[in-house]
Amino acid sequence: MSGGRTEYHRVDQGESPSAGDNDSGILQPRRGPEYAELDIGEPQDFGEDDDVRFYQEFSTFNPQSSKAQTWKRKRFSLVHILLVAVGCLGVYASISLVWNLFADTKHGDAPDTAPSDIVPPTTSVGSDEPLPSGRARKKLLTYDNVHLLSSMVDTTSLDWIAHPTDPSIDGLYRTVRNEAFTILKVDNATWTHKLADNADVIKAASGLVDRFSPRSWSVSADWEYMLFNVHIEKVWRHSIKGTYLLYNIKEQTMIPLTSKGNDKIQRVEWAPTGHHILFVRDNNLFVSDMMHEIQVTDDGNENVFNGIADWVYEEEVLGTGTSSWWSPDGSMLAYLRLDDASVPVYQYQLFHPDNSSVIYPDDILLHYPKPGADNPRVSLYVYRPGFGKIASETKPVSKANDNPDTDFHPHKITFESPFDPKNTIITNVAWLTDGSDKLLVYMMNRVQDHLKVYLGSADPKQLTAKVVRERNTASNGGDGAWIEITAPPIYVPAHSVESLTADGYIDVVENGEYTHLALFSPLDSPQPVAWLTSGDYDVISGSVTFNRKDAVVSFLSTQASSTKFNVYQVSLNGDSDRQVRALSPPTIKSASERINTEGARDGTYDAVFSAGAGYYILKYKGPKIPWQAVYSSKNPNFERVLNDNSIAQNAFDGFSLPTVEYFDVANDAGDKMNAMAIYPPDFDKNANSKYGVLFRVYGGPNSQQVSQAFSLDWHSALASQQDVPDMQWIVAVVDGRGTGHKGRKYRSAVSKQLGILEPADQAAGAKYFQKLSYVNPHRIAIWGWSYGGYTTSRAIERHSDVFRVGMAVAPVTSWRFYDTIYTERYMKTPEMNNGGYTTSSVNNITGFKNSKFLIQHGTGDDNVHLQNTLALADLLESNNVPGFEMAVYTDSDHGIYTHGVQPSLYARMTNFLFRSFHELENKQFDFWRHSDPNIASSK
């Protein structure tokens, strides 16, 4: 879990299609051997690709008893898809390829994209109207074809890149075209710059790797070197270890990134200028100028992390595995040093059942602080690489501490009035300069209700950072709840805005109930000089882009609706009454007829701006099938469609899909909760007690599930199933108290009492459905993953009068078992809130005795440890709870993908759901509760 951020951040470690040109003006994804983007010098992106929220998961459950009937249905489904989706042999072949690719491929242990954080389906695509006489009726989704259809939906993007010498040339992106690594211009088909031919790169790599098949590539800021990642090994949610090769474009030569230990590189990043590069190996930070390599730190080990995050900082603070930052001019870098020596170690095992040569399991030792335990000791350093001080090229590798010039040693930043070092969390570090002189540092106390913002200097003679602003919710009548960790601020130079005579920055700050854009100037100002937005909506942290040339700020907000994001702009010039202008939906007529169709524009959006912010990729994310197009910040008539997903639309038109409804549901406190329902394609609102309702819940603090983002998944197939016609399902989603974008009071209501209000609000939603005439009030179930598994468990524990069946995947069952930074943010420490920890744990078996309950977990879960499930299982087993079942998945982490087991997980849930209600309604014999015949006969 990751607090208010999206919980599962996908690390796209495989190949990613780039865009190619065609004469239609619509860019379609190339299906050749392209290379993916490497996380190096990324452009500013609104949100993350995983927010597109496609489930790539499905259930193979099939209640038909006849294998022949099953095969006949699968075969007919495929043929029908092809007939509806294609009108020519070429498209037929491409869809067949997609089928062959996905039908027989099992998921490996992919990065953590578990469904506990992915928003449910939010649209109906197509219609269930009968086709003209003589033609087949539209098909329904099955558990077999839902993954095929969802995989057809493309999320094409562009890898924006800055020009090395002329910032006025904007709209450049990098791709592979015509077997060459190339820079193109989005608005000029004749502008092209070839970096290297693919054949030359492969030839240069000969002898360095057995087979040159890079997973990703990037280019230095001066376009003189290319970096290829040729091997990736996942570490935790965001972090990897990789093997890297450097290609000299001019000389057409290839060398390893480092001559020593090149196969376990933990982090790589180009400097924003020139071709300096930093990397981390064995928890030590290095820098290189291609001629010389300097080891910046030498104390890295299993306890000390330099320039990268340890587990808890990666998961709960930074949202990334990196903790080092180049200055804008590339002359300095700042980095965190994390000391985990006093952090307790959690141990679990990997069994490798697919490897017969492994007899003893691997012991995994992980520094993992649990509530009340020591946190990592964090410190901040700055370092100026001393390449020019290296005396001779005969010494290609050196250490920073070997350099006699003290200017080129790492220097530790100290802080005015700091928190206790044992209870200090550094949440953000940002350079507020075009050079390398000013740093803004965000620091919180252990329980994250007290924030101090420091302004520091990188000058070795002025290393004490001063407090410039502060917020403490536990004082001055505050609510005492947590302060959200936000993205780094955006630098605004003096005179880039009218009347701005001193440097400043833009930050996303709470202003009353909601988060808004604030402009601070000068840098040490304790209060904003201006609020750029206001109102009953949130500006989304991490979505802000500043166009210096035009003094315009772009951002995402929930101004239109709390269930969807839209793209907006506001000018910093002019009078104080700044008008916010919407960039989404686009208003011009599109080159794509599909984008022009009714309903294809209204919904939720994302955007990625070019290096100069003059162009942006507008990503329509739902509720209809997504599309992507490029627009200009200056020319309102410019459009370039990247992908309108018309092929996917044609395929979807052959299906009668579930429909969706958005609405409000009141909880017991009178709050209006966002809700949505997914109805079967043949939904009959005039039916009597026909439908059961499955609640899909997450419910974690500042999360959101009721979102107008496209998805097609297991829930879609469940709502569509007609194999058990007397047990059809509606899938319901309710965002109760604690969730985001409904104001601070609504969000912080769960402070110090997790697991009380969340299940109560789910129960309120269930009672709403129970009163509907078409709902069977006795068929109400709930399921969730991670925090959703916790909410599910608490709902069964406390509200089994409503929820008769619960299914929890990888749940927390006691907050004493989860990590410090997440848990203490919401619960305080056990010393401060011992009673709250007790009441928030799953420890009452009464509700479980009255219901059916399934729990599933991966044995290799580094995030929510199997310890949680085993503790609850022991409680239920020792009390002979009859309706409890459990499944574990060997070596799977929190995403439960290892050995392709995820279909099994969903099949088990499907079977459990149907079987449980069959047993409850038919009073199945229960051997735990049978009467003693001796006692019966003696009466």
Task: Encode pLDDT of 722-749 as tens digits.
Answer: 888 899 999 999 999 999 999 999 999 9
Confidence tier at 931 by pLDDT (50, 70, 90): low
Alpha carbon distance 727, 689 (integer Å): 10
Higher-scoring residue by pLDDT: 639, 103: 639
Q: How far apart are CA 486 and CA 540, in angstroms?
A: 9
Please determine, for residue 285, whether its predicted confidence score (pLDDT) is greater than 90. yes
Residue 216 is a catalytic residue: no
Q: Residue 394 pLDDT > 60, yes or no?
A: no
Q: Higher-confidence residue: 85 or 157?
A: 157
Looking at residue 94, its pLDDT comes to 44
Instruction: Quote the pLDDT of residue 855.
Output: 98
Res 400: pLDDT: 77
Given 116, 543, 786, 916, which residue is catalytic?
786
Give one DSSP letter per residue of 569-601, joined into a string: EEESSS-SSPPEEE-SS--SPPSSHHHHSTTSS
Tell me the average pLDDT across 269-284: 97
Chain-centre distance for alpha carbon 802: 32
Please state, in angstroms and rounded to a whole number, the distance separating the CA atoms of residues 538 and 883.
43
Angle at 323 between CA 322 and CA 328, to 5 degrees: 100
Helix, strand, coil shares of the chain as percentages rounded to 5?
20, 30, 50
What is the mean pLDDT of the segment spanning 624-628?
A: 96
The Cα angle at residue 651 between residues 649 and 656, in degrees rounded to 5: 95
Give the domain ranges of the chain. Answer: 55-108+115-152+658-922
Residue 63 has pLDDT above 50, yes or no: no
Model confidence at 58: pLDDT above 70: no
Question: How would residue 706 be classed by pLDDT, with cut points 50, 70 and 90?
Answer: very high
Is residue 284 predicted with pLDDT exceeding 50? yes
Rounded to an integer, the average pLDDT of 506-527 is 96
Q: What is the Cα–Cα distance from 827 to 820, expressed in whole angstroms?
A: 10
Angle at 288 between CA 282 and CA 289, to 5 degrees: 170
- Cβ atoms 306, 283 nearer than 8 A: yes
Amino acid at 277: I
Q: Residue 309 belongs to what H/E stretch?
A: none
Which pLDDT belongs to residue 657?
93
Rounded mean pLDDT, 809-833: 98
Average pLDDT, the chain: 85
pLDDT at 936: 57
- pLDDT at residue 489 tops 90: yes
Inform me whether the pLDDT recorded for 218 exceeds 50. yes
> What per-residue confidence (pLDDT) applies to 578?
80
Question: What pLDDT does 316 receive?
Answer: 97
pLDDT number for residue 49: 34
**pLDDT grade, residue 407 (50/70/90)?**
confident
The backbone region for 645, taken as left when phi is positive above 0, alpha when psi lies in -120 to 50, beta otherwise, is: left
Q: In which region does residue 689 sit, left (phi positive, over 0), alpha (psi from -120 to 50) or beta (all else)?
A: left
Q: Three-state SS for 480?
A: coil
Sorting pLDDT into bands at 50, 70 and 90, what band is 934?
A: low
Query: Does the annotation mark 861 as catalytic?
Result: yes
In this prediction, residue 409 has a pLDDT band, given cuts at 50, 70 and 90, of: confident
Beta-carbon contacts of residue 37 (< 8 Å; ≥ 6 apart): 12, 16, 159, 216, 218
Express as a percent the part of the chain with pLDDT over 70: 82
Is 18 or 759 the better-scoring residue by pLDDT?
759
Q: Are strands 580-582 and 604-609 parallel, antiparallel or unpaired?
A: unpaired
User: How much is the pLDDT for 118?
Assistant: 25
Across 107-116, 532-541, 859-868, least confident range: 107-116
- Under the banding of pLDDT at 50, 70 and 90, the label for residue 628 is very high
**Which DSSP letter does residue 317 get?**
I
Q: Residue 592's pLDDT is what?
A: 96
User: 201 near 212, Cβ under 8 Å?
Assistant: yes
| Contact (CB, 8 A) for 796 and 807 | no
How many Cβ atoms sit within 10 Å of the Cβ of residue 403?
16
pLDDT number for residue 801: 96
Structure confidence at residue 461 (pLDDT): 82
Per-residue pLDDT, averaged over 808-817, amounts to 98
pLDDT given for residue 138 in this prediction: 86
pLDDT at 933: 62
> What is the reported pLDDT for 144?
83
Q: Taking 80 as the threshold, does the pLDDT of residue 483 lie above it?
A: yes
| pLDDT over 80 at 444, yes or no | yes
Q: How far is CA 291 from CA 134, 325, 387, in A?
A: 73, 22, 9
Listing DSSP states for 679-717 in one string gives E-TT--TT-SS-EEEEEEE---TT----------SHHHH
423, pLDDT greater than 80: yes
Stretch among 38-47, 52-61, 359-368, 650-659 having the lowest mean pLDDT: 52-61
Q: Which two tokens stand for residue 39?
A: 């996380």
Whether residue 338 contacts residue 309, with contact meaning beta carbons closer than 8 Å, is answered with yes
- Residue 342 is among the residues annotated as catalytic for this protein: no
Q: Is the pLDDT of residue 311 over 80?
A: yes
For 827-840, what is the mean pLDDT?
A: 97
Q: Which of 50, 606, 735, 861 is catalytic?
A: 861
* Superfamily (CATH H level) for 55-108+115-152+658-922: Alpha/Beta hydrolase fold, catalytic domain (3.40.50.1820)
